[in-house]
Structure 1
Amino acid sequence: MLVHLRQVLHPDELRQARQWLASGEWIDGRATAGAQAVQAKHNRQLRQDSEASRRLQALVLAALERHAVFFSAALPKKIFNPLFNRYGGDANTYGAHVDGAVMHSRATGQRVRSDVSCTLFLSDPEDYDGGELVIDDTFGRQRVKLPAGDAVIYPGTSVHAVSPVTRGERLASFFWVESMVRSDEQRRLLFDMDRHLGALREMAGTDAAVVGLSGTYHNLLRLWADT
């Protein structure tokens, strides 16, 4: 399931994030790549233990906490501390790869199963050429390049890449979610049901059928969720 999350960060938060990114210390992105990904990864990454990184992590996590669509689609149990990368110049691409099944945070020591992958775009699309997030999965090949402040979530099992940035600079945050519902198919069903229930509530309020369907949603979540 691929979901576009709109306006995760507000304009004032984006301005603040860019200031912190500009003052941060950047390292070779391959320093945090696994054995397979290190051959494909050519970007820069903000140091995880820097003050700028800690401030940005808090900003992004607070924004996710208030984003109803993110919660409905990902059903988060644990969120890997957000990381931040930069593509441009001679460090401008990330070849096709699959994210590791379990991510280990060097900053917190936490281990997070990567059920859901997420990229939060921090650069305006017109400020750089290329840099599309290319995702291959059962839904076909998708080339994703979103407005600054928007994010995309997609299955952690997907083969994906970042196409070369040929002009400008692409800044983004990326992280993984261990979901309460491990199955992508089950999450998709719950997300679709939640969206349709929201539309029905606007039309029918507390009609008995709406209440009954809401009960079915929560009973399925109770059946499938692991907290």
Structure 2
Amino acid sequence: MLLRIKDLIPSDKLAIVREILDSAQFVDGKFSAGKEAVSVKNNEELPQDHPEMGKLNTIVMGHLVNHPTYKYGVLPHRIAAPFYARYRAGKQYGKHVDDPIMGIGDSYRTDVSITVFLNEPNEYEGGELTISSQHGEIRNKFSAGDAILS
């Protein structure tokens, strides 16, 4: 399943998200990687205890969970906390399969992944979300505020 949501986050709200992330301190993304992905994960992530995490989630997740394409295309039972990832020059998240089960204790299945693009495609080189399947690779690099569900 690949579903694109255009303009998930309006530009005024996207500006707030970007302002928060532009001034935030990020940590090594390997800390959140599953055992299969840790060797190919080379990015940075906003710590889950960041003081602005609630504000970010209110904007990003608020728009996501209320969008009809998400609600009716995914029919979520449980939603995991999002990760806000940053990729600088030379960083990447290599080929991997997301862990099918996540969480400690009260674990949950992770059938659907969501990527929300926070920058315009012309603002950075590379950075395509590449999805591999038996039909080949699909590269996705959408406008800021767009999302893809896979």
Fold-level match, TM-score > 0.5? yes
Which amino acid in the other structure matches residue 62 of structure 1? Answer: G
Confirm whether residue 101 of structure 1 aligns to residue 100 of structure 2: yes
Query: Within 2, Cα distance between the matches of 1:104 and 1:70?
Result: 22
For residue 137 of structure 1, report the CA deviation from its aligned partner.
Answer: 2.1
More helix by share: 1
The answer to whether the 8 A contact 1:6-1:151 is kept is: yes
Q: How many Å separate the matches in 2 of 1:53 and 1:37?
A: 24
Contact 1:121–1:146 at 8 Å: present in 2 too?
Answer: yes
Partners of 1:28 and 1:43 within 8 A in 2 = yes
Instruction: Pick the structure with greater CA Rg.
Output: 1
Q: Cα–Cα, structure 1 residues 117 and 148, in superposed 2: closer, same or farther, change >3 Å?
A: same
| Contact 1:64–1:70 under 8 Å retained in 2 | yes
Q: Give 2:66's aligned amino acid.
A: R
Describe the shift of the 1:142–1:27 C-alpha distance in structure 2 as closer, same or farther (beyond 3 A). same
Which residue, out of 111, 117, 124, partners 1:121? 117
The 2-side partners of 1:89 and 1:140 are apart by 26
1:139, CA displacement in angstroms?
4.8
Structure 1 position 138, deviation (Å): 4.4
Unaligned runs of 5+ in 1: 155-227
In structure 2, the residue matched to 1:132 is: 128
Q: Residues of 1 paired with 2:22 and 2:106: CA distance?
A: 27
Q: Distance in 2 between matches of 1:111 and 1:52?
A: 25
SS of the residue corresponding to residue 152 of structure 1 reads strand
Say which SS state the counterpart of residue 95 (structure 2) adopts: strand
Runs (4+) of structure 1 exceeding 3 A deviation are none
1:5 has 2:2 as partner: no
How far 1:102 moved relative to its partner? 1.3
Shift of residue 110, structure 1, vs aligned partner: 5.5
1:1-227 equivalences under 5 Å are 1-90=1-90, 92-104=91-103, 111-154=107-150
Q: How many Å separate the matches in 1 of 2:59 and 2:39?
A: 31
Higher strand share: 1
RMSD value over aligned CA atoms?
A: 1.6
CA distance in structure 2 between the partners assigned to 1:112 and 1:20 by the alignment: 29
Query: Could you tell me how far apart the structure 1 residues matched to 2:124 and 2:106 are?
Result: 34
Q: Using the alignment, how far apart are the partners of 1:70 and 1:79 within structure 2? A: 12
Instruction: Tell me: CA distance 1:31–1:138, structure 2 relative to 1, closer, same or farther (3 Å).
Output: same
SS across alignment from 2:52: helix
